[in-house]
Every structure is written in C-alpha cells, then in structure tokens.
Structure 1
Amino acid sequence: MNWLTLVALIIWVYILSVLRRGKLDFWYFLIGSAGLFVLCMVFVQPVLTTPLIKAVTMVTGGVGKVLRLFEGYPEYALLFVKNKSGAISLVVDYECAGIIEMAAFFSLLIFFPAYLHMEKVLVGIIGGLYLFLANVIRLAVICVAISMFGNEAYFLAHTILGRIIFYGLSMLLYYFVFTKAQIIRQKVGSFSYEDK
C-alpha cells in the first residue's frame, strides 16, 4: 500500500464518520459503497481472481462433463467445446470470473441499512454463492449453444445470450436483497409492512 492509497483510505473513513454523525444515510450508503468497491478492486480482486477463475472453470466443466458437451480445464482456465464445425477453447478470464459483480454486491450490501449485521453476513454468503452459480449457468449456456450450433454461435451466445442470463439473474438477486427488503422494512408513521 503506497502513501497515496493510505491517504485516500483515511479521507474515505473520515468522510464516512462525518456522514454517519450527520445522519446523512443516503450519502453514507453511496460514498461507503463506492469506496468499498474501489478498495475491493484494488486489494481483494488481485488475490481472489485466480482462485475464482479456477473454481468457475471447474464447476462449469463439471456441468459439461455431465452433459457430455464440453470439458473444463481449471489449471489452464479453459473450457473446451467440441461441435459440428470443429472445436473452440474458451478462456475464462478476469471478466468471466464474476469478481466485479460480487464486489459490487458485497459493497452495496455492507452499507445497506435495511439489514442487521448477522443478516448481512447470511445474505452475503447466499448472494455470493448465487452470483457464482449464475455465472456458471451463463458459461454453461454459452458452451451448450456453441456445442449445438457451432463456432458461429459464439458471438451471439457470449455477447447477448450469456449477458441476458447473467444480468437477468443478477437483477432478480438485487430485487430480493435490496428492493423487496427496503419495501418490506420501510415504516411511514405508524404504518409498516413488516410483521412484528
């Protein structure tokens, strides 16, 4: 950690303490989440990307082995897909690992005011596993599409179909974790949706 990063971290923590004391909840959530996301990208992402890539490749390869349509090679971060027009190797890289999406989810969750601390831990574990499995489903669908329709289907499967699946599943998670929880736990005067 260089001195510039340390100064930025101290300023971020100080701003958070001022916002907390001033009871500016929205700004505390916004600046806290954004700052934590940047910290995750700087410090956590370099450490967790490689193990996450290997895990995603291994689990997706397991799906391919069950379906007998493609194979996974976690040590090389490759998914090997045979099809009617030959074969293609898909490299599972930093963007395919899901680390950015997980960091965004955890950063928002940690500063989200609707949950207690233990609830955040439980929701964080379940949400992290959910995003991991959503990413596996995305990669498996891409590989199945390439296996069935040939190498020509790569662009459509990867760029459009895979993203629709992954971000559709992500939006579902965000709805249940953030939107629905906020609606259920909101209180207006003496009225509340939550059962006590």
Structure 2
Amino acid sequence: MTSWLWVTCAVAWLGLVVLLRVRRLWLPYYVLATVGFSLLVLTAARRTLVETTLEALTAQHAHVVSGWFDIPTRVFKNAPGTLLVLVVIGKVGWTVIEVGIECSGLLELTAFTALILFYPGLRLGRRSWLTVAGLVATYLINILRLLVIIAFLHWGGKDTIFVAHTIIGRGLFFLLVVAVYWSIFTRAALKAVRERVEQA
C-alpha cells in the first residue's frame, strides 16, 4: 500500500472512529476502531524492522526453549526468521521452519492491542497493565505453539507438519488465547455486572 493511500485510510478511519465515539455508538465504534487499527498497523509494519525483529525474536526464543527439551535447532544469522529443526524419525536431517507474519505473532499481538486500546470504560492505568500482561501472555503462547510444531517435527518426522501446524498448533494457540481474552474481557465484565447488581 502506498504511503498516501495509507494516510488517507488512516485519516478516514480516525474520523469515523471519533464520530462513532462522540455519538456513543459503542458496538460500531469498537468494531471499526479495533479492526481498522489492526489493519493499519499491520500494513504499516509489513516488511519493516518491526516485523523482521519480531520474527527473529520468535525464532530465537523458540530455539532457546527447544534446547531445554533437548531438541536440536539452529537459527540462521543471515536469515533471522529461519529456524532449522533436526528431524530424527523417517528421513533424518534438518527441516527449515520459516517464522513469518503468522508464526511471529504480529497479527495476534496487534489484534490484542487494538481490543484493549479501544475497549470502552477502561482507565488508562488498567488499560496499560492489561495491554502489557496480555501481550506477554500472547507472545508466550505463540512460543508454545511454535515449540509444539518443533517437537512434532523432531520426534514425529516431516510428515507431521500439517497436523502439528494447522490442527494442533493452531488449536492450542486458539484455546489459550481465548482463555487470555476471557480472563481479561469476560471476567472483568462479569465482575462489573456483579458489582452493579450488588449495589442495586
């Protein structure tokens, strides 16, 4: 996306978000604000230092944690988002895992930030704390997902990549991220409702 188009979209998005907030149309405000923010950040971050740094950090952390379980991995210094996993079943050898935008967690981290940032009714201090806690939890869950894929590859062979990545890895990630979202959003909302009922 060209920079002038991005800026035009950002200005239009901001105008609509402000309008919806001023008119207190909370559901359209929240949906437009979170989705728009996520899309704008993701398009701005694509192929930048932000994306490549997150890919490199994710690969490096997965490499370190794999070592705790005696799973040999390597990270390429010249291709920081690339991780090698030693496969010991079937055709023995190294398998390359590319840590791209999906495996880096950039999508989920951006979406989570948007959900907290635009959630109506949160004070700045609570919003800041929840953002940091949620980002750390989401990042760690993503490392766990990558570790599951690495473990399947290492001990199950290259034929397990589809099941490990698409079914088990994503399923585990989804369940744990939903637990984080429930803890932050739903539990807090239920607590607020309970307090209002008790005060009435």
In the superposition, the TM-score normalised over structure 1's length comes to 0.88
- 5+ long unaligned stretches in structure 1: none
The Cα shift of 1:81 comes to 2.3
C-alpha RMSD over aligned residues = 2.0
Amino acid aligned to 1:23? R
- 5+ long unaligned stretches in structure 2: none
Match 2:86 to one of 81, 84, 87: 81
Tell me what 1:164 maps to.
Answer: 171
Is the 8 Å Cα contact of residues 114 and 185 (structure 1) preserved in structure 2? no
Tell me what 2:45 maps to.
Answer: 44
Aligned residue for 2:143, secondary structure, equals: helix
Tell me what 2:5 maps to.
Answer: 4
Which structure 2 residues correspond to residues 46-85 of structure 1 after superposition, within 5 A? 46-47=47-48, 48-73=50-75, 75=77, 76=79, 77-85=82-90
The Cα shift of 1:72 comes to 3.4
Aligned residue for 2:150, secondary structure, equals: helix
What's the CA shift string for 1:21-57, capped at 9, x where partnerless? 2111222111111111111112134432111111111
Match 1:119 to one of 119, 123, 126: 126
The Cα shift of 1:150 comes to 1.8
Aligned residue for 1:186, secondary structure, equals: helix
Counterpart Cα distance in 2 of 1:106 and 1:162 = 22
Which structure 2 residues correspond to residues 141-156 of structure 1 after superposition, within 5 A? 141-156=148-163
Check if 1:191 corresponds to 2:197.
yes
Is the 8 Å Cα contact of residues 57 and 79 (structure 1) preserved in structure 2? no
Amino acid aligned to 1:27? P
Is the 8 Å Cα contact of residues 84 and 147 (structure 1) preserved in structure 2? yes
Is the 8 Å Cα contact of residues 85 and 153 (structure 2) preserved in structure 1? no
Aligned residue for 1:39, secondary structure, equals: helix
In the superposition, the TM-score normalised over structure 2's length comes to 0.87
Counterpart Cα distance in 2 of 1:159 and 1:183 = 33
Identity across matched positions, percent: 23
Counterpart Cα distance in 2 of 1:14 and 1:2 = 18
Is the 8 Å Cα contact of residues 65 and 71 (structure 1) preserved in structure 2? yes
Aligned residue for 1:23, secondary structure, equals: coil
Number of matched pairs: 192
What's the CA shift string for 1:6-26, capped at 9, x where partnerless? 232222222222212211122
Q: Which moved more, 1:38-47 or 1:23-32?
A: 38-47
Amino acid aligned to 2:3? N
Counterpart Cα distance in 2 of 1:114 and 1:67 = 43
Q: Which moved more, 1:96-105 or 1:16-25?
A: 16-25
Counterpart Cα distance in 2 of 1:72 and 1:106 = 31
